[in-house]
Amino acid sequence: MTKTDISDLLTIMKRLRNPDGGCPWDIEQDFSTIAPYTIEEAYEVAEAIEMDDMLHLKDELGDLLFQVVFHAQMAQKKGHFTFDDVVTAICDKMTRRHPHVFGNADYRDAEQQTVAWEAQKAEERKDKNQNTSVLDGVTPALPALTRAIKLQNRAARVGFDWPDTAQVLDKLNEEMAELSHEFVEAGKGSDNEDTIVEEFGDMMFVYANLARHLNIDAETALRSANHKFERRFRQVEMLAKAQGKSLDEMSLDQMDALWDQVKEQEKKNSIP
């Protein structure tokens, strides 16, 4: 394999976007059309890490790097900045935010360093905008669950937070009761669909807060639940097929019986 470096990737990207002989699809793209791919690649990196698949991770990191190069090439074409500017900016930022490594600051532990990191970020945001909020910088582009936790963490820095987990559980029970009430009202003919959606959102927001108080990564926990459901459902499909049936031919009770069979088998095999 020929040894390459970042300059080779930059050259490839330049050729792909060259109106004279480049790739028509790549030439037509702009920041907004590429952004969804950038997000998708970041998730695929996370999935490779979760699956502990290092070969896959290598490929996905390359795909994510390509996204950075893609955005940088478009920005250079419009006269905004270059890839080198991106590298310079992140090097400056990391040096500035790690004074305990590149300067004279002395932090006792990782927690103290994290506090200092966030304080530095807050100062940087303040320098950019005098009308600041502690919630500034939590981008709306984040997945809703992740953003909820980040917003809550920001508010907690100024003391806007429940002091213990029991109060979060009380709030969760309150929100569930409100959702249940609206659901019952809908059954009586009330036109409250918007209220049900709002109450469900409130309940999910408190679930995110509960995860934060329990020091659980909510996204990771939900991904794990997704993987578990998918694994078990596929096993149910296989068991049904072994019986010469498809799931749409079976009753819910029959499918539940297969589901319980899969769970019991996983328990015997110590599969979480």
Render pLDDT for 52-109 as a digit per residue (tens, 0 to 9): 999 999 999 999 999 999 999 999 999 999 999 999 999 999 998 888 888 877 776 6
Residue 177 CB neighbour total at 10 angstroms: 12
Structural domains counted in the chain: 3
Task: Judge whether 161 lies within some domain.
Answer: yes
Does any domain span residue 57?
A: yes
Q: What is the spatial distance between Cα 19 and Cα 147, in angstroms, rounded to a whole number?
A: 39
> What is the spatial distance between Cα 234 and Cα 225, in angstroms, rounded to a whole number?
14
Q: For residue 71, give its domain range.
A: 6-96
Report the alpha-carbon distance of residue 161 to residue 154 in Å, rounded: 10
Residues 235 and 205 in one domain: no
Residues 162-198: tens digit of each pLDDT: 999 999 999 999 999 999 999 999 888 888 999 999 9
What H or E segment, with its residue span, contains residue 120?
A: helix 110-128
201 and 239 within one domain:
no
With cut-offs at 50, 70 and 90, classify the pLDDT of residue 127: low
Q: Is the pTM of this model over 0.85?
A: no
Report the C-alpha gap between 180 and 186 in whole angstroms.
10
List, in order, residues 6 or more apart from 250 with CB less than 8 Å away: 240, 258
Decide if 119 is inside a domain: no
Q: Is 262 found in the same domain as 189?
A: no
User: Is residue 248, in this structure, part of any structural domain at all?
Assistant: yes
Lowest average pLDDT, out of 116-120, 125-129, 166-170, 222-226, goes to 125-129
- DSSP-derived secondary structure letter, 137: T
